[in-house]
Structure 1
Amino acid sequence: MRIAIIYLIGRVITTGLFAGAAQLSTASSRYGERPRLGTLLMGWDAQWYWYIAVHGYPSSLPLDEAGQVTQNQWAFMPVYPYLARLLGGTGIGWQVAAILISLVSGYLAALVLYLLLRPRIGAIASMWAVVFFANAPLAAMFQVAYAESLFLLMLFAALWLVARRRYAWLYPLVLLMAFTRPGALAFALFLALHGIVRWVRRRDERLRPSEVVHIVLNGLLAAIAGFAWPVIAAAVTGRADAYMATELSWRRGWITGDDGSFAPFRGFWDAAAFWFGQWGLGATAGYIALGALVVLIAALLLFGPRVRRLGTDVRLWSASYLLYLFAVFFPQSSVFRLLLPLSPLWGAAAVPRSRTWRCGVLAACVVGQWWWIYNMYALGNTFWQIP
């Protein structure tokens, strides 16, 4: 009940922030002057999900005048839009169904997050982690028509099953995650690292043969499922690089003269030069900052005492997902949203028992939430204001 109350209060706060953003929206915003609340909730990628639910995926890729692939539905996975279409078919409509899925999934994700963290940091700290999660700077994702809430629910449930050593229940979650949001390859890496740790520690914790089989099979399933969507896109469109070309079509909007090729870790490397060039600091400073960021994150995950309190599995998942992002993503304003799968790390912020500290973190979360909603929805008219 307490988690339900915390989550409900968080949604009231977020709704108030959206209402304020709507009032501050001007004619220069992509939403126009004082848009309706529903207009904001159905903005940005929500329109892609709606289009998929109505029209499906194209059998031929759209091209610009230069013959390059332009933005299209293949960048988005099918579980969320089709689930919303199924629920919307009951008479409530796609838009209501999509937002309802996000709301309910967010609440259930908060419940599972509490269960995941409680054995490691205790009930009180875990409840505070839920408070931070429900009011986080990106908490708006819990009530817009995006797939993030649904993916987080599946991810937290999968991490909880791994922590409880219930590997046999993972198979359906692995498949569903792979077709809800990108990230299955990160989960495959996590399971590989988890299996190695369990093997090394097998004298301290018995490792049954059946557990080895389930860990290996789930890891293979996650890897296969992680590559399945590009294969499906290629089969439907008849173009082998359909998915990659679609994803890279978004990156061309950031880097002029991009050659349209992909190489692991190139996105962050190019972005370091791009962003620091935009800020007038130069590419070399960007590369140095990128290296310092990698070292800092590694140090926190390996040696940070508060992070270590969360347990090996949360740290392994965080490292796996961050490595995945470094390998495939070009960081821009959407990077904040893509960090949501690291939400179990809120437990580290909740560990200190100081009420002043916890209230300060909560206040920072709400302020960050307003900053994000205001920029992405009230303004939303420059290249760095894309959620």
Structure 2
Amino acid sequence: MTVTSANDAAQSRRSEPRLAERLERVDHEAEARAVWWRRFGFWFPVAVYAISRIYVLIAGILLAKGQIALPIGLERIRISYPLPADPGYLAAMTNWDGQWYRVIAEEGYPRVLPRVGHGGIDMNPWAFFPVFPLTVGAIMTVTGLPFVVVGPVLSTLVGFAAMFLLFKLIDQAVGRWEAIVAVVATCFYIASPVFSAAYTESAALLLVVAILLLLRARRYWWVAVLLVVLALTRNVVIAMVPVIIAHAVVRWRQGDEGPHPVRFRWGMVALAAWAGVLTLLWPTIVSVVTQTPDAYNQTMLAWNIQTKVKLYMWWNLLYTYWGVVGQGLGILAVAAFTWFMLSKHSWRWGPEIWGWAGAYPGYILLVTSTTPSRVRYALLAFPMTLIIAWFLKLRWWSRWRYWILGAIVIVGAIQMWWWLENYLVIKNLADDLYP
């Protein structure tokens, strides 16, 4: 090879990352003038999500053929609505918690809590938050459609809105490349088939992203309203407290508190306190309606779930799987994440995304149990995808980043198939595997 050709090849390699950067450079004003459905910020997240949902539909149709019959009276699982073997895609998408949501949608919540032989409270619908099932029930009443249609379809449709807003949030706050990675990685995450099931993940993600967008836009009254809706959708509203504090602190440090800084500070204190108090909203409603003190916590005990700090469970889990080496790796992982969160790499996300990126994983470690559901809970930890985006922009990988992102899609699709087959679809009752 001649010196000239070698230089040309080197120049070509150097130009590839710059070409990718030019493709990701956005003229937001020009895009805003385009017809809404032709804007990249609309069609890209919608298209990626649609492709992932078509894949889940095909996989679900095929895998549902292997589901066993589920009659009432099984020992290892509560069945309120019996299903035959090979019940079809939509019915399979209402497995597990979906049956509880169906009870709420069709019958509502019981006024009297069911008791078991020793006097404790038995499993009952009050363990499940009301926004999703009551919305499904209202649509069923209006349309006459059954739960097995409305539940999965509504969850899937809400996911479209969630992905659109997720792309918008990341695109505005961080950048176009990061928004692309966030949507792709979330749509093809191992537990993302749950977006198509009668579960609350789609609604919860939509609400979390909407609150972060509204907080960035300083629409604080709307934030207060959506915090109530979130508190009645999933028990994660407490994680919004650090987000609000981070938003307030950054505005204070930047001298951007508006014409009435004292009023702003007290308003932020009130908003953070509001998010904290809303954690008690659903437990209070349960106790008042059933006239039973501590009814929610007692109901959760029926699933052996205790509402207290559970960090020790994760510590024990690491030791059970990998011994002392696993615990050491766990400490290193937390230390590495802490370093990243305290570095300039994460500060550019903005205080809202940065606050959620730290608060929600902390919430998972401190509050949730080490059940298989922890994989599903991680869907709301979408800022973790920004670490992937940052890593792929490092100079060692930058020229290959789109190829690596494509590989992430392929690996994710394989994992989604496995998760759907082994967790959501019920093929046997020998294992304690549930979504």
TM-score bracket relative to the smaller structure: 0.7 to 0.9
- The answer as to 2:342 corresponding to 1:302 is yes
Q: Deviations over 1:220-242 (max 9, x none)?
A: 22222211111111222233221
Question: Structure 1: which 5+ runs fail to align?
Answer: 253-260
Is the alpha carbon distance of 1:311 and 1:61 closer, same or farther for their aligned partners in structure 2, counting shifts above 3 Å? same
Counterpart Cα distance in 1 of 2:188 and 2:340: 23
Residue correspondence of structure 1 range 166-315 to structure 2 within 5 A: 166-199=219-252, 201-203=253-255, 205-209=256-260, 211-251=264-304, 262-264=307-309, 267-273=310-316, 276-277=319-320, 279=321, 291-303=331-343, 305=345, 307-315=346-354
Is the alpha carbon distance of 1:330 and 1:382 closer, same or farther for their aligned partners in structure 2, counting shifts above 3 Å? farther
Q: 2:55 is matched with which residue?
A: 13
Match for residue 421 of structure 2 among 365, 374, 377: 374
Residue correspondence of structure 1 range 1-387 to structure 2 within 5 A: 1-25=43-67, 33-91=85-143, 92-199=145-252, 201-203=253-255, 205-209=256-260, 211-251=264-304, 262-264=307-309, 267-273=310-316, 276-277=319-320, 279=321, 291-303=331-343, 305=345, 307-351=346-390, 352=392, 353=398, 354-376=401-423, 377-379=425-427, 381-387=429-435
Counterpart Cα distance in 2 of 1:242 and 1:151: 24
Q: 2:29 is matched with which residue?
A: none
Is the alpha carbon distance of 1:74 and 1:208 closer, same or farther for their aligned partners in structure 2, counting shifts above 3 Å? farther
Contact 1:121 / 1:310 at 8 angstroms: preserved in 2?
A: yes
Contact 2:204 / 2:233 at 8 angstroms: preserved in 1?
A: yes
Contact 1:309 / 1:348 at 8 angstroms: preserved in 2?
A: no
- CA-CA distance at 1:49 after TM superposition: 0.8
SS in 1 for 2:342: helix
Counterpart Cα distance in 1 of 2:104 and 2:340: 40
- CA-CA distance at 1:76 after TM superposition: 0.8
Counterpart Cα distance in 2 of 1:318 and 1:375: 29
Is the alpha carbon distance of 1:5 and 1:290 closer, same or farther for their aligned partners in structure 2, counting shifts above 3 Å? closer
Contact 2:68 / 2:428 at 8 angstroms: preserved in 1?
A: no
Counterpart Cα distance in 2 of 1:290 and 1:381: 31
Counterpart Cα distance in 1 of 2:93 and 2:61: 11
Q: Deviations over 1:195-230 (max 9, x none)?
A: 23332x233x44553543443332222222211111
Q: Deviations over 1:130-172 (max 9, x none)?
A: 1222222122122111111011111101111122333232122
Is the alpha carbon distance of 1:45 and 1:10 closer, same or farther for their aligned partners in structure 2, counting shifts above 3 Å? same
Instruction: Tell me the C-alpha RMSD between the 2 structures.
Output: 2.7
Give identity over the alignment, percent. Answer: 25
TM-score by length of 1: 0.86
Is the alpha carbon distance of 1:289 and 1:233 closer, same or farther for their aligned partners in structure 2, counting shifts above 3 Å? farther
Counterpart Cα distance in 1 of 2:120 and 2:327: 29
The one-letter amino acid paired with 1:87 is: I
Q: Report which of the two structures shows the higher radius of gyration computed on alpha carbons.
A: 2
Counterpart Cα distance in 2 of 1:245 and 1:327: 20
The one-letter amino acid paired with 1:273 is: N
Question: Structure 2: which 5+ runs fail to align?
Answer: 1-42, 71-75, 78-82, 393-397
SS in 1 for 2:106: helix
- CA-CA distance at 1:375 after TM superposition: 0.9
Counterpart Cα distance in 2 of 1:289 and 1:62: 44
Q: 2:5 is matched with which residue?
A: none
- CA-CA distance at 1:11 after TM superposition: 0.7
The one-letter amino acid paired with 1:301 is: M
Contact 1:268 / 1:331 at 8 angstroms: preserved in 2?
A: no
The one-letter amino acid paired with 1:184 is: V
Is the alpha carbon distance of 1:117 and 1:271 closer, same or farther for their aligned partners in structure 2, counting shifts above 3 Å? closer
Q: Deviations over 1:295-314 (max 9, x none)?
A: 34323433483x45433321
Q: 1:258 is matched with which residue?
A: none
Q: Deviations over 1:26-83 (max 9, x none)?
A: 5799876433112211111011111112222223322322223222111111111111
Is the alpha carbon distance of 1:129 and 1:271 closer, same or farther for their aligned partners in structure 2, counting shifts above 3 Å? closer
Contact 2:173 / 2:349 at 8 angstroms: preserved in 1?
A: yes
Contact 1:102 / 1:150 at 8 angstroms: preserved in 2?
A: yes
Is the alpha carbon distance of 1:346 and 1:290 closer, same or farther for their aligned partners in structure 2, counting shifts above 3 Å? closer
- CA-CA distance at 1:381 after TM superposition: 2.8
SS in 1 for 2:224: helix
Counterpart Cα distance in 1 of 2:170 and 2:428: 35
Is the alpha carbon distance of 1:90 and 1:320 closer, same or farther for their aligned partners in structure 2, counting shifts above 3 Å? same
Contact 1:110 / 1:130 at 8 angstroms: preserved in 2?
A: yes
Q: Deviations over 1:284-341 (max 9, x none)?
A: 6676565445334323433483x45433321211211122222321111000111111
Contact 1:109 / 1:152 at 8 angstroms: preserved in 2?
A: yes
SS in 1 for 2:403: helix
Q: 2:39 is matched with which residue?
A: none
- CA-CA distance at 1:367 after TM superposition: 1.8
Is the alpha carbon distance of 1:26 and 1:77 closer, same or farther for their aligned partners in structure 2, counting shifts above 3 Å? closer
